[in-house]
Amino acid sequence: MASNPSPGVYSKITDLSSYVQAIPGTIAFIPALTKKGEDNTLKFISSRAELVSEFGEPNITEYGKNYGQGLYCAYNYLGESGALYFMRAMPDDAAFANLQINGSFSGTDATAAITVSYVASTSANSTSEFKTALVQTGTTYPLCVLRPIGRGEYYNALGIRIVTHSNPLLDGVYVLDIYERQSDGSDVIIESFEISFDPTAVDSSGDSIFIENILASYSSVLRAEVELASGAYTEGYDQLVRIYDQNIGNVTVTGTDGTGVVTLTDNKQDFEDWETTSGTVYAYCVVAIDAKGNKRYGWLGAASGDDNVTVSIYDNRVIANGSAGWITASGDTSTFDESGDVTYTIKKFYTEISEAFTSSEPLPLRKGSDGSFISSGNFSQSDGKQALVQAYAGTLNSPVDGTDVADVLDTENVYFSLVFDCGYPSDVKSQISSLVQTRKDCVAILDNGDNASYTLADSTRTDTHTFNNYYCALYEPYNKVYDQFTGQDIWVSPVYHMAYLLPRNDNVADLWWAAAGFDRASIDSIKELRYNARQGQRDQFYLSQINPIVKFNEGYTPWGQLTTQSKASALQDLNIVRLVLYIQRALSEYCRAFIYQQNDAITWSSVSGDIIAFLENIKQARGLYSYSVTVGATAYELKSKTFHVDIILEPTRTVEKIELNFFVK
């Protein structure tokens, strides 16, 4: 034990306040097919407004009953809970809509021409492909690619305009307006930003206005790609935007066009690095700005004066054709004030990026494609199914970095307790079952397909949906509801209702209470069931671990909460499985804090006391009848640097039968 040899008061703080922290018990995961939104990325969504803003309103007509219910379930869930992991699934060959800005010039151009082009759909499937498209080709120097946050044809409805900032003193600062085509054919501005193509540009408060940073931080629809695969900025940036130097001292400009002597002087500058004394073209130009924002530019010839503080200015980049003189910038007045304060920047070329956007109409994004989702104008169900299977498997490729979205399987950093099937095909349901059994920390809420009768439902359970594990729960039947988004009646999966009943149950009670029966799971929105299971049919459903939604005189409600495990045990009840998984997750996170602590009785006692306090709280909330906790280590465990925590739980059971006995004397 370390000690201080000199006299004094020495103190330390020992934390004796540790406890088992409660964890969120209601976090869901739902992949879906949508027309818009960032795709193949696990997104945490906290509200209905956030869901609709990025992914659009539910619309079952877009992908049909078997593929179009994902947004509905997500919307219903977020009406009761503010914690959802959502993923828009897209095929690998889907393409970003895009617009590429380039500088184009030949060796004798006086200035660069700003042009717009588009990356073909076959080369716009990922951001890495844009990095290839941004490589210089001949005399075309790409500056950047603008693309939406997600892929798909939907984003061809976007358009942009870039105009020079109204303050002429803000050199290189533009206003970027983002438009969206409306149903009536008009283009409406949905976002507007002050931006610069210079990575070092900042606003008056010191915040970056670099286009990449601005769009990544503040835009809900658009992103900018400005880097090559090497990490360097594009050649277009070097030629069109990059500032190689600027005023550092007192600046004066002299001479009038045609006088034979036109110069720029900076008493602290050395223009030798930027001068051109031989060759066919001048290498650099200077852009001078007076106190009113009037601009002139010219090409840098030879430097002169003490320490080369003065440089000659020429009006044509071609040395043979140039004469001493300034060029008045486009749109400028001719009243450049040489006597006032003058600033300057040294660049490769003078140009305004806004020159490509002279029309009052926005330039459209183009080449966006849904890829194999659309075949001969129709939605491909096979490709939609494959994308959903991959979403639940964590094997979709991210269009941003090309890696699998493996965080779906990351139990350490990504936690969700519920996984919803949304009326998806049987192959997707099988993958959902595989996901929850692989993670072992969440349960799946599945439907049994759209069966027109009890007989077909029983057959589907026997022949197709043969799940037999306590991580999945299976519901019947499909039912008719009014759809506020399309204004019509639609048939939906029973999961449509469980998506809001489960979080509602957890809000008004606890997750270890059953989300079934009239007290916490009454359903008001059902107009009609495919069939209404009678007592004898419900008995058979119970034996097959199917949970039916049933219509009684009192209304509609789920009349079951079994998992698909066929073996009779406490883990046949969904509420008990959720309780056990909740306790397992909370205690796993708690125990991690004791890794590398001393393996002795003091540590064991601390762990035991905290776990008992945690379980006692659940018991008082009617989640447990009883429990026992044993913490310690055998002689072998001590040698292997291990201690055990043995917990026996006796969960509180739900009431499923009431024996109502009458005795008449």
- Position 337 scores a pLDDT of 85
- Position 333 scores a pLDDT of 56
- Position 330 scores a pLDDT of 61
Cis peptide before 362 (omega within 30 of 0): no
Rounded Cα distance, 207 and 185, in Å? 37
Is the confidence at residue 396, as pLDDT, over 60?
yes
Is the confidence at residue 168, as pLDDT, over 80?
yes
- Position 8 scores a pLDDT of 82
Share of residues in the chain with pLDDT > 90 (%): 82
pLDDT confidence bin for 401, thresholds 50/70/90: confident
428-442 pLDDT tens trace: 999 999 999 999 999
Residue with tokens 């309780």: 579
- Position 2 scores a pLDDT of 61
Lowest-confidence segment of 334-343, 432-441, 505-514 by average pLDDT: 334-343
Rounded Cα distance, 27 and 42, in Å? 13
pTM of the model: 0.91
| Paired strand residues for 481 | 490
Is the confidence at residue 581, as pLDDT, over 70?
yes
Token pair recorded at residue 413: 């950093």
Mean pLDDT calculated for residue range 561-578: 97
Residues with Cβ within 8 Å of 609's Cβ and at least 6 positions away in sequence, in order, are: none
Share the mean pLDDT of the chain: 93
250-302 pLDDT tens trace: 999 987 655 678 999 999 999 999 999 988 899 999 999 998 888 889 999 99
What are the respective helix, strand and coil percentages of the chain, to the nearest 5?
25, 25, 45
72-126 pLDDT tens trace: 999 999 999 999 999 999 999 999 999 999 998 876 677 778 999 999 999 999 9
Using alpha carbons, select from 650, 654, 652, 606 the residue that is nearest to residue 631. 606
DSSP 298-326: EEEEEEESGGG-EEEEES-SBTTT--B--
Using alpha carbons, select from 616, 635, 636, 613 the residue that is nearest to residue 626. 616
Cβ atoms within 10 Å of 637's Cβ, excluding its own: 13
Residues with Cβ within 8 Å of 345's Cβ and at least 6 positions away in sequence, in order, are: 171, 243, 245, 246, 247, 286, 287
Token pair recorded at residue 652: 């509180």
